[in-house]
Each structure stands twice: as C-alpha cells, then as structure tokens.
Structure 1
C-alpha cells in the first residue's frame, strides 16, 4: 500500500497509508491530480487538529479482507466502531470539536463531519435556554436588553 505525508500548517508531519487518504475526498482528488506527489501541506489545519483527523481516519479504515465474514462479526465490528467513536468524541473539548467540524468539512470527510456535528447538536439540546447556549459556546449577545425582551415576546 502506498504511503503519503500530510503536513500541517505548523509543519507537523503525519505519515498515512492510502486507505486513510481515501477517506477525504479533497486529499484523494489532490493526490490523484498530482500524480507522483506523496506529500501535501494542509495550510488551513494545525498539527493538533490534523492528529485527530488522522486518528479518526485510521480507526475508520475499512478492511478489504475476506468478504465471506459473517454478518454477526461485521455487526460486532460496527458496534465496536460506534463505541470507539463515542469515546473519541466525548473525550475532547468543545473547541476541538468545532475545529474538527471546520476541518472535516474542508477535507470532505463525511463520517467525521457527521460525528462532530452530532456532538454539537447534543450539546445544544442539553442546554435549558439561549443563555446557557451562549455561555457554552462563548457567544456574546449583540441585542440590547429591550431588543432581547422583544424577541423573546415574539417567540413565546
């Protein structure tokens, strides 16, 4: 299997195999268009974030092995992957999750994008009101007290 090097904006390098690259539509197209290129600098992504992307993609490499494996073993593998995803996403802080949303969208890694968006949706759903959402995400209200009262009244 071919190996590729992904380089972050802060010059951290990650050597990955082709199966990892293929999970990103952007990287897959990039390496395909630049035949022979084996290194790609991703200016928009820091090493800290890229390490999480690589970790996710390595754990989501689909084994192209024996297709006669039973559905129960593939179901068990799917359950193990779901548990890994849950652990992966819940152990990181919200700031990293938001960075991963942007990066997975940019790199076009659908599974990671969906996972990170779901985490944010869960965080929002756990909030009691708009004030708690603002506090959790560090959003400063640009409404005056009167404007906010008016909006709340309109949406009762």
Structure 2
C-alpha cells in the first residue's frame, strides 16, 4: 500500500525539502509503507524552469547571469535531492492514503484557485486524506477561500 505526500513543490527551499524527506522517512521506517511525493503543477513548473534557465542566461549581463546561474545550480541540486530521496511521481491508483503538508500549503496568497483546491485534496476521491502540519499562513481568509475550506 502506498501513501502519497502532497506538499509545496519548491526546488529552492531547504526547509520544504527537508520536511518532505523527514515525513517520508518516518512513515517508511516506522510504518513499513512505501511513500511517494506526488508531483503537482508546482513541481512541473519548477522542473521546466530549471531546464530552461541555462538557455536564457545568454540574454543577461555577466553579473545577473552569475546570480541566475547560482540560483539554477541550487535548484538543480534540490531537484537531484528530490529525485534520489523523495520518490517523486505522478499520482497513481496505487495510492491508498494521501497526506497534505507540511508548511503553508493552504496560503491563498501563493496559490491559484486550482492549486488551492489541489492542496485541499479535492481532486482525490475515495482515498483517506490526512493533514500533517498544514497551515494557512494568513490571519484571515476572504469569503471565497472560506468557501473552499468548508467543502
């Protein structure tokens, strides 16, 4: 039985990747379950950005090119870490439980409506859903996002 983790797809953030790794590690070692990190739109966009950055670098000044190259190298390292340790895959029918978290996965200022629905796990029907240290990251929600949360 597989457990899927849905989290922010941030290939630039140490905390995000380490939280994802720690959750995966605890589940695998203490519950003997296979864990996959589900690739969503954020990860797909991040992977495309990393693959396209080097071609764009020729358009910038040397100073800006060096900063962008450093950022790209960092992102590539995170992507390599994710590929090796996080078992990132697209969702499959083999996933029987799904965990959302941790971090500000429900922050409406960062997400489109479609992403907000995704992080509320609305696309996943008939699967046990678990929230692990998921947060909103804002003091109040507007009416539209309150309705999303009530579903």
TM-score for both structures, normalised by structure 1? 0.25
TM-score by length of 2: 0.25
Higher strand share: 2
Larger radius of gyration: 1
Higher relative contact order structure (alpha carbons within 8 Å, sequence separation ≥ 6) = 2
Larger helix proportion of the pair: 1
